[in-house]
Amino acid sequence: MDEARLMEDYFVENPTYDDVIFRRRFRMRRPLFHRIVDAVSANDVYFQRRPDATGRQSLSPLQRCTGAMRVLAYGTSVDVVDEYLRMSGSTTREALINFVNGVISCFGDEYLRKPTKDDLARLLHVGDQHGFPGMIGSIDCKHWQWKNCPSAWAGQYAGRSGKPTIVLEAVASFDLWIWHAFFGTPGSLNDINVLHRSPIFDDILAGRAPKVTYVVNGRENDRAYYLTDGIYPSWAAFVKSITSPQIQKHLPNIKRV
């Protein structure tokens, strides 16, 4: 009965809740969630349905993954879905651990890594096709409210809204391939503070970064850059997405890093 209600709400052809509500509640689109469920289910027997000790069918892959995803999406306690999915807190916690490990195992080689030389060549080619030669991705930060932040830590994580937040710095390509993700440490309350702690330029400073070359206005360059918004400093590694700046703060003032 619980699985049937879950299917009717989200996963049948005409569900109760549409794609907009699904994305808001699961923090992703429905096809992407199905892809993740199929991958972790094929990779880990934990998510595969089988009889339990009493002979009854165990929870379905969708139930286990939905329980894990709702905890991840909302940052709530593991018993938040017990009334809806009929999953105990201990089962949800176990599903969450296996779900996270499954995502890392299935997608880590493709998504959770730095770009290779071939990846950089592809990113540079696409950037050039879109009028940004030398651009290898867009960098920005996202503030995530930490609802259950311990009171003793709240002051360290107080963000611009006055509530505890964790700041995620990410670099994404044109097709939303996020190949860099860094969560700011305590005291990292804005994009600039996170940038100063981020390892995004460690390989460049250590001389380990792959070499890139591209030509702009007849001049060959050997340093790629990121597309940013106005809050980032005026470094050669950043190009801000204002095509026709009208005020002084938007005018280029490039500094080498």
Domain ranges of the chain: 2-110, 117-250
> Is residue 251's pLDDT more than 60?
no
Q: Name, in order, each residue with C-beta under 8 angstroms of 53's C-beta and a sequence gap of 6 or more.
A: none
Question: Six-digit token pair at 19?
Answer: 């794609």
239: which strand partners?
227
Distance from C-alpha of 204 to C-alpha of 256, rounded to nearest angstrom: 13
Q: Where residue 255 falls among pLDDT bands split at 50, 70, 90? A: very low
Residue-by-residue DSSP string for the chain: -HHHHHIIIIISSS-SS-HHHHHHHHSS-HHHHHHHHHHHHHH-GGGS--B-TTS-B---HHHHHHHHHHHHHHT--TTTTHHHH---HHHHHHHHHHHHHHHHHHHHHHHSS---HHHHHHHHHHHHHTT-TTEEEEEEEEEEE-TT--GGGTTTTB-TTSSBEEEEEEEE-TT--EEEEEEPPTT--SHHHHHHH--TTHHHHTT-SPP--EEETTEEE---EEEE-TTS--BTTEEES-SS--SGGGS---B--
As a three-state string, the secondary structure of 140-195 is EEEEEECCCCCHHHCCCCECCCCCEEEEEEEEECCCCCEEEEEECCCCCCCHHHHH
Structure confidence by residue, pLDDT tens digits, 36-81: 999 999 999 999 888 877 777 888 899 999 999 988 887 777 887 7
Q: Name, in order, each residue with C-beta under 8 angstroms of 64's C-beta and a sequence gap of 6 or more.
A: 46, 47, 87, 91, 95, 98, 99
- From the list 237, 113, 135, 118, the residue with the least C-alpha distance to 179 is 113
Q: Where residue 252 falls among pLDDT bands split at 50, 70, 90? A: low
Q: Where residue 226 falls among pLDDT bands split at 50, 70, 90? A: very high
Number of CB atoms found within 10 A of residue 214's CB? 20
Q: Where residue 256 falls among pLDDT bands split at 50, 70, 90? A: very low
Question: Six-digit token pair at 34?
Answer: 């199905």
Q: Where residue 254 falls among pLDDT bands split at 50, 70, 90? A: very low
